Amino acid sequence: MSMQLNQVNQLVSQLNEARNQIPPAAARAVIDSVRSSEPNDDLLTLVGIIAGQNIQAEELLIAIRNEIQSTNR
């Protein structure tokens, strides 16, 4: 594999890894914002951050459910 193709492959792998980390991180941010004194500002900021990232609502809801369950154990 050429050096350029290898670099592209590595970047795609990093991108996929980062994309997989977005729903759990967003779930923690949602839970924290609901608990904060400024939930509306935090939630609007979160929506702005993840807008256009192709995160499906179902993914986010599953991540929120998992985060709530893990904090209740």
> Tens digit of pLDDT for each residue in 23-64?
999 999 999 888 887 778 888 888 888 888 888 889 999 999
Of 43, 52, 50, the C-alpha closest to 23 is 50
pTM of the model: 0.76
User: Which pLDDT band holds residue 2 (cuts at 50, 70, 90)?
Assistant: very high
* Tokens representing residue 61 in the block: 């809801």
Domain ranges across the chain: 3-71
Of 40, 37, 31, the C-alpha closest to 64 is 31
What's the gap between Cα 71 and its chain centre? 17
Distance between CA atoms of 63 and 18, rounded to whole angstroms? Answer: 15
* Tokens representing residue 32 in the block: 């924290």
